[in-house]
Amino acid sequence: MTRYYMHLRNSTGYLPDTEGVLVSSHDELRRLAVANIRSLLADELRSGAIDLRGQIEVTDEQGDCVLTVPFPDAVLVTLAEPAS
């Protein structure tokens, strides 16, 4: 297993992950990044506004970026059709 760090970059700035997470596969790493984004957006939804301009930047133990997941990649947004 390898330790990866999921750093948050959004409209309020940059929040580095100092603890990291042990992950055994790239697929699991992506699933965790998506789950983190969805959790953040769920908190925003409670306030009535969602900002999709952020991303999770995943680095390995050497600090190399191995994955970037933009917020829009973690959700499906469907707009209501106007009533006729």
- Any domain includes 79: no
- Any domain includes 32: yes
- Any domain includes 65: yes
Could you tell me which residues are beta bridge partners of residue 8?
Answer: 15, 56
- Any domain includes 14: yes
Mind spelling out the 3-state secondary structure of 18-83?
CCCEEECCHHHHHHHHHHHHHHHHHHHHHHCCCCCCCEEEEECCCCCEEEEEEHHHHCCCCCCCCC
2-30 residue pLDDT tens? 999 999 999 889 999 999 999 999 999 99
- Note the pTM of the prediction, 2 decimals: 0.88
Q: In whole angstroms, what is the distance from residue 26 CA to residue 33 CA? A: 11
Domain count, the chain: 1
- Give the pLDDT score at 77: 87
- Any domain includes 25: yes
Instruction: Provide the domain limits for residue 29.
Output: 2-74
